[in-house]
Structure 1
Amino acid sequence: MASTVNIYDAKTQLSQLINRVELGEEIVIARHGRPVARLAPLLPQRTDRTPGLLAGKIVIADDFDVFSPEDDRDWYGE
């Protein structure tokens, strides 16, 4: 649950509030008891994916998609 502080306290305690946000807390800033803003930790930015990055590092067995009668029995209990 987020903590709520009024604008005056947020202005005078900004450094402490930022420290709390860095630890994962969300802070709601209110004016006259009404929430108007939220301080929240930034999510890490996603990096662009590089197709083929794991090429040659992953091996799929030749029988990967072979479903034997034993597999059928194990899966479906027949």
Structure 2
Amino acid sequence: MEIVNIHEAKTQLSRLVEKAARGEPFIIAKAGKPLVKVVALDQPSEAERQRLGFMTGQIVVPDDFDRMGSDEIENLFGTGA
């Protein structure tokens, strides 16, 4: 994440706000110490973005998952025996 000092933020505010609006947040620092984080208002939080794998270890996919119900499906479409 980009860190900019207050002076740079003042002189390039329009560019920085556009970047944040596109989903590229940045931090404003004073004397090297981070003060604030600027993000788009509709940007999802970090917790909301990290959903991949959120149920790891909580469910089990059967080995025949890709064949489950194949007989019923074949019968419904008239291709079964």
Q: TM-score, normalised by structure 2?
A: 0.51
Per the alignment, residue 14 of structure 2 pairs with: 15
CA deviation map 1:21-66 (0-9, x unaligned): 111011100000000011101127xxxxxxxxxxxxxxxxxxxxxx
Gaps of 5+ in 2: 44-67, 69-81
- Greater helix proportion: 2
**Consecutive aligned runs of 4 or more in structure 1 exceeding 2 Å deviation:** none
Structure with bigger gyration radius: 1
Residues matched between the structures, number: 44
Give the superposed CA RMSD: 1.5
Question: What does residue 24 of structure 1 align with?
Answer: 23
TM-score (norm 1): 0.52
Give me the identity figure in percent.
Answer: 39
User: SS at 1:36's partner residue?
Assistant: strand
